[in-house]
Structure 1
Amino acid sequence: MQKYVIALYIRLSIEDYKYDSLSIENQLLVLNEYAAAMPEYLNAEISEFIDNGYSGTNFERPQVQKLIEMVRANRIDCIIVKDFSRFGRNSIETGYFIERVFPLFHTRFISISDDFDTNNFKGDTGGMDVAFKYLISEYYSRDMSIKTKSAKYAKMQRGEYQSKICPYGYRKSADGRMEPDPEAAAVVQLIFQLAAEGNNGTAIARELFRRDIPTPGEYKAARGNHTHDISRTRGIWSPSTVLRILEDERYIGSYVIGKRAVLEVGGTRSRMKNRDKWYIIPDHHPAIVEKSVFEKVQTSQLRFSQPNKKKRDYPLKGKAFCGCCGHALSRTMQKTSYYYCRHSEADEASRCHKMRINAAELEKAVFITLKKQMEAAASLNPDGTVRLEAAAPERSEYEQQIEELQDGKRLLYERYLLGEIDLDTYKAEKAACDELLLKTKNAYAVVLAQAKQKQEEQVRHDNRQEAARAVFNSEGLTAELTDLLIDRVLVYPDNRIEIAYKIKDIFD
């Protein structure tokens, strides 16, 4: 039997730690108590989604993203939150999900403290009360953000604010200030020396690999700081990492902060500010590199700027990866273009060193594979659609029966209070009513499960139909086709390819 899935969503920001009522434990208690009183609870599967320490001003939260993905996969029937602000403080995004996305996937949304249930507002948005609650939550977050930023910028101007993270080559001293890390500082000095001798970023990266010098991520991981994923690094430096080090003014003792501005309150996306808006504090900490060497490197390193650079689009952009090391493949833009693994250029012993595959041949092979897979799937998929509304009248009948039985229990209790029946009669009739109510709820749960299963079958069928139309109507591989169907394509040195599809069960 298909379970009715209830998702309990809990969010706790850093600011919320001040209030016991918003603790994860208290939110869970409130949500579980509410869910237990729902008629669907008897046949329900309860799933918990907890974002601890995240702002509600945007939806860049791991658990809320997972929840939304499950909604889009038709795997969630109902979402319960303590109040609107737990789900989100951004009025536009929160309203979009509650009023557009969730109804599309037949997902019920309940906010307990706001007395809001989408089942009670079918065809409506909840009115002005709901809209004002969205806005109050959003403006509270904006006000807090402005106050926090003002205090931080004041500290920057006084030279008091310091990032918790030191650039490669430095570490925090006992008094919390930056000081050179002897081992890493020596590598930084070597990088500048090689650059001053005329080597470019790629040549320096190869030399660092030849000398078996750990990358910054590997160096930090060896000392217990596992901030970066180094599983695919293998000691190979990236030329872009080298160039970032070469242009970093902090290595001459100047502290630079406030280079980027966050695009939205509580968000992680940011943009680079003009240099005159940065906070630059000279002689802030001990220098690793002499100023004359730094300036020489800045004049010798070639940096190309293309303000009107055209956006390069091709079918497998962001989809083609090396099957050996897992890094994204680069693509040459020539008359005869190739995909190649840039990451392994410094490592001649690597299987994917100098691996090249003709771009047109790879794209053709991917398209042919797609078409053959779709033909096989289409032959297994009979024509016609699933009738989703077959159980609709039966569902409404059960809902009416449950409501009538609950009303009957209330009337029975009123009769007992008024003295129309004695205690024994009340107990007997109530027991009979409870037994019938339980049977009805169980039968209703079965009908709900069947309806959900049919809905999922329809979604799978529609996905296959959409994919089949896209493939058979296309004359070759396109960016639209890969965005619809393909997650990634793994390419190996022997020209073997593996395709990971977006729609997991499309070829089942």
Structure 2
Amino acid sequence: MQKYVIALYIRLSIEDYKYDSLSIENQSLVLHEYAASMPEALNAEITEFIDNGYSGTNFERPQVQKLIELVRANQIDCIIVKDFSRFGRNSIETGYFIERVFPLFHTRFISISDDFDSSKFKGDTGGMDVAFKYLISEYYSRDMSIKTKSAKYAKMQRGEYQSKICPYGYRKSADGRMEPDPEAAAVVQLIFQLAAEGINATAITRELFRRSIPTPGQYKAAHGNHTHDISRCHGIWSASTILRILEVERYTGVYMIGKRAVLEVGGTRSRLKDRESWYIIPDHHPAIVEKAVFDTVQASQLRFSQPNKKKRDYPLKGKAFCGCCGHALSRTMQKTSYYYCRHSEADVESRCHKMHLNAAELEQAVFLTLKKQLEAAAPLAPDGTLRVDASVPERAEYEQQIETLQDGKRTLYERYLMGEIDLNTYKAEKAACDELLLKTKNAYAAVLAQAKQKQDEQARQDSRKEASKVIFDADTLTTELAELLIDRVLVYPDKRIEIAYKIQDIFD
């Protein structure tokens, strides 16, 4: 017998830390006490979903996404939250899930503080009272966002605001302000000195590698900050890192903040504002680089844009990687093009140093490998695929049965309230109805699983047919073919290649 599953959803944003009543522990206690009082909780499975530190203005939260996926898989019978704002502060999205998604999958939704239980409503979800609570939650979130931004901008204007992250070369002092990090600051000064002498970024990376100076990621990792993946750098700086450092005006003691504006409340997308709108504070912190040296470097750096630059496309764009160091291979765009490993240019001892492979030969080798793999696979049906009947006629029938049984339960309860039947009769008939409803739901879940299996098999066959057609119609490797089948190609100095496929089972 499938258990009744109750999901307790808890959300705590950064602002909510100010209120003890909204703590994770208090929310959990309230939800568990309520769930324990429900008759369905006797043999139910109770699971918690917690999003800690996430705003309710959008649904890009890991645990709420997981919860919604389980709902769509018909694995959640009831969701309980402390109030509507815990589930979401966006009135449109919150209303969509409560009014459309959850009823479709017969998932009950309960908001304790709002005295809302979707099982008490049929055809609506609480009327204007609930709708106003949605809007109040969304307005509160927007109002808090505006007030927080206003306070932050005021601190920026006074030069009091400090970002959490310092640029390479600085660290946080005891009072939270920026101060030079002697070891890293010396590296920054060296980079600016070399650039001021006219040495380009690529040559600077070679010099830093020759001196065995760790990259910024390695330096942070050595000091306990492991937020960067340094597994592939091998002590080699990238030219792009050098160029980014040479552009940082904060090294001259000038503090610039407020460069970007968030596009929507609770969102992560932002846009770069005009420089006139930035907050620029001179002599904000000790300088690492003299202003004259910084200006000299800016004047010597070649920075230009090509608005009408033609986009360079080739079949293995973003898919060819060095098998030695794992970095993406660069490709020259000449009459005779070739792939090479740019990362290892500074390390003459590296296996992939000076590795150059003819682009046409590599792409043709990949194409012939694909073709041979498909020829070696099991033959397809005469029409190029195996058709699978993915229709499940019983699905609509079970949905109708479940709706009828739920209507029957409501009618039974109404008869009891009207005094047409006594309590014992009501309990007996309700138990029989619940048992039949549970069996019907289990059978419905099995039908859905069967339909999903058929759909997956059909998708596999369709992918195989599409891949076969593209390969046999092509004379050489194309971007379409590479996008369809290839995840990545590892290339080694001895011209050996390893292909990781997107849909491996078509070759099984």
Partner of residue 346, structure 1: 346
| Alpha carbons 2:209, 2:346 under 8 Å: kept | yes
Determine which of 424, 445, 448 is the counterpart of 1:452: 448
Write the letter of the residue equivalent to 1:196.
A
If asked which structure has higher relative contact order (CA below 8 Å, sep 6+), I would say: 1
C-alpha separation between the residues in 1 aligned to 2:484 and 2:181? 48
Alignment of 1:52-451 (within 5 A): 52-64=52-64, 80=79, 82=81, 84-91=84-91, 111-113=109-111, 115=116, 134-359=134-359, 372=373, 376=378, 382-390=386-394, 392-394=396-398, 396-397=400-401, 400=404, 404=408, 426=424, 436=432, 439-440=435-436, 443-451=439-447
Q: Separation in 1 of the partners of 2:68 and 2:365? A: 34
Is the partner of 1:112 in helix, strand or coil?
Answer: strand
CA distance in 2, matches of 1:199, 1:139: 55
8 Å CA contact 1:341–1:356 kept in 2: the answer is: yes
Contact 2:80 2:109 in 1 (8 A): yes
Q: 1:364 to 1:60 in 2, by over 3 A?
A: farther
Partners of 2:388 and 2:161 lie apart in 1 by 65
Question: Structure 1, residues 339-369: CA drift from partner, whole Å, max 9, x if none?
Answer: 4433333233334434445555555666666
TM-superposed CA distance for 1:402, in Å, is: 6.9
Please say which of residues 365-374 and 337-346 is displaced more in the overlay.
365-374
CA separation of 1:247 and 1:408: change in aligned 2, threshold 3 A: closer
Q: Which amino acid aligns with 2:455?
A: V
Q: Secondary structure of the equivalent of 2:393?
A: helix
Distance 1:324 1:94, change over 3 A: farther
Conserved 8 A contact 2:327-2:341: yes
Q: Is the 8 A contact 1:56 1:85 kept in 2?
A: yes
Distance 1:228 1:127 in 2: 50
Q: Distance in 2 between matches of 1:359 and 1:41?
A: 67
> Could you tell me how far 1:20 is from its partner in structure 2?
4.4
Whole-Å Cα distance in 2 between the matches of residues 409 and 229 of structure 1? 60
- Structure 1 gap ranges (5+): none
- Where 1:304 maps in the other structure, the secondary structure is coil
TM normalised by structure 1 equals: 0.78
Other structure's SS at 2:242 match: helix
Comparing 174-183 with 480-489, greater Cα deviation is found at 480-489
* Cα contact 1:6–1:76 (8 A) shared by 2: no
Distance 1:290 1:213, change over 3 A: same
CA pair 403-274 structure 1, distance change in 2 beyond 3 A: closer
Matched to 2:294, the amino acid is F
Q: In structure 2, what is the Cα distance between the partners aligned to 1:51 and 1:314? A: 42
Q: Provide, for residues 314-335 of structure 1, a one-character-per-residue CA deviation record: whole Å limited to 9, x for no partner.
A: 4544444444433333343444
SS in structure 2 of the partner of residue 293 of structure 1? helix
Cα shift at 1:457: 0.8
SS in 1 for 2:219: helix
8 Å CA contact 2:486–2:499 kept in 1: the answer is no
Are the aligned partners of 2:118 and 2:125 in contact in 1 as well (CA < 8 Å)?
no
State how far apart, in whole Å, the 2-side matches of 1:12 and 1:401 are: 38
Aligned mates of 2:212, 2:304 — CA distance in 1: 29
Residue in structure 2 matched with residue 498 of structure 1 by the alignment: 499
Q: How many residues align?
A: 494
Q: Which amino acid aligns with 1:212?
A: S
* Structure 2 residues not aligned, in runs of 5+: none
* Code of the aligned partner of 1:267: G
Higher mean C-alpha displacement, 273-282 vs 394-403: 394-403
**Corresponding letter in the other structure for 2:254:** S
Q: 1:340 to 1:84 in 2, by over 3 A?
A: farther
CA distance in 1, matches of 2:93, 2:487: 26
Change (3 A) 1:465 1:283: same
Distance 1:484 1:50, change over 3 A: farther
Question: What code does the residue aligned with 1:495 have?
Answer: R
CA distance in 2, matches of 1:71, 1:196: 61
Aligned mates of 2:413, 2:120 — CA distance in 1: 23
Question: What does the per-residue CA deviation read over 1:11-41, in whole Å, with 9 as the maximum and x for residues that have no partner?
Answer: 2211122344543345445666559969799
Decide whether aligned partners of structure 1 residues 360 and 11 sit closer, same or farther in structure 2, where only a CA change above 3 A counts.
farther
**Offset of 1:120 from its aligned partner?**
7.5
Q: 1:391 to 1:63 in 2, by over 3 A?
A: closer
- Amino acid aligned to 1:250: R
AA matched with 2:196: A
Does the 8 Å contact 2:387/2:458 carry over to 1?
A: no
Q: CA 1:13/1:480 → structure 2, altered by over 3 Å: closer, same or farther?
A: farther
